[in-house]
Amino acid sequence: MGEAVFEGRVADFVAALLEPQVGLRRLAADFIEDLYDKRSRVLHGEQLEGDSKLRSDARQLAASILFGVWSYQDFFQRWYESTPKPDEFFSRLREGFVMPGLPHGVLELPVRKLWQR
């Protein structure tokens, strides 16, 4: 799988995890892809013309992803006493990309303001 395909899938998964409005998920995915691209460029040694706002946005997105995944797992652990396997989790996010709302147990987070500017 090429990096661009992986990047697009990750962005779609995160958008489905964090953005409840279907009409804004593409905007969210574009924001996430851009940040993921910047991450890749830095890891390959490039200097970015970023400021503290960019670093803050990246931290907020990372924390929101972690919190969203944790909330999802916690929901299933409490209600079903088991947590879906990663493949099932990603499958649900893929299917949910075109359905309104957030996955079970995931709360709407203020991270949404990052792509709604």
pLDDT at 6: 52
| Rounded-to-integer distance, Cα 62 and Cα 60, Å | 6
pLDDT at 71: 95
Nearest Cα to Cα of residue 35 among 60, 68, 71, 17: 60
Give this prediction's pTM.
Answer: 0.86
pLDDT at 9: 87
Could you give phi then psi for residue 107, rounded to 5 degrees? -90, 150
- Terminal C-alpha separation, the chain: 32
Q: What is the pLDDT of residues 34-59, one digit of tens each?
A: 999 998 898 999 888 867 888 999 99
Nearest Cα to Cα of residue 94 among 29, 1, 4: 29
| Residue-level pLDDT, tens digit, the chain, 117 residues | 445 545 458 999 999 999 999 999 999 999 999 999 998 898 999 888 867 888 999 999 999 999 999 999 999 898 988 888 888 999 899 999 999 999 999 999 999 999 997
Alpha-carbon distance values, 20 to 16, 45, 91, 102 (Å)? 7, 35, 17, 5
The residues near 112 (Cβ < 8 Å, ≥ 6 apart) are: 18, 19, 24, 28
Q: Give the start-to-end residue ranges of the domains of the chain.
A: 3-114
